[in-house]
Amino acid sequence: MKKTMIEVLSILTTAVVAALIFNQASGNRIHIFQNYEKVELVDQEYNIEFIDIEIVRYYLEKEGTIVLDARSVEEFKSGHIPGASSFSINEFDTLFKERGEFLKLGTNVIVYCSGPTCEDSHMLAIKLSGKGIKDIFVFKGGMEEWIGSGYEIAGENIY
């Protein structure tokens, strides 16, 4: 048992040292002694969360994630996040009839609109939640932050 414990301590020490070195060198550095910053909730009742651009990119790589663009179809056509589907808040009832069942299959639904000050994504999130869609996230920065960060933009590709 003593030998096992020595091995365990050696592995843990190696892991801790590697993690600290990587964390120092990484662009995604986290501060381990800091309180976790809770995500801001749009509405506790609906359990809708704001997420930042890095979390959006993380979720985009995952199977089952659905990204919805709450802006108008014209705005969507002019440029949107790759993989996103147009889901204009103005046509919510029609679109939900068409795609409601599909949305229920998603493990995470991310919604966004023009930028940090637009409210269409919040409204869409609340409406979807009201229809029974779970795990909805609002990408607060929207297209403004996406374009500003220099990430790839898709166009003329309506779902």
Contact residues for other proteins, defined by CB under 8 A: 3-8, 10-12, 14-16, 18-20, 22-23, 26, 28, 30-36, 38-39, 51-52, 54-55, 58-59, 61-65, 107-108, 134-135
**CA–CA gap between residue 128 and residue 41 (Å, rounded):** 15
Cβ neighbors of 55 (< 8 A, separation 6 or more) are 137
Closest CA to 80 of 123, 36, 139: 139
In terms of CB distance, is 60 or 73 closer to other proteins? Answer: 60
Nearer to other proteins, 49 or 120 (CB): 49
Q: How far, in Å, are 63, 71, 94 from residue 122 at the CA level?
A: 24, 12, 19
74 or 105: whose CB is closer to other proteins? 105
Minimal distance in Å, beta carbon 9 to other proteins?
Answer: 8
Minimal distance, residue 98 CB to other proteins, in Å = 23
Closer by beta carbon to other proteins, 85 or else 108: 108
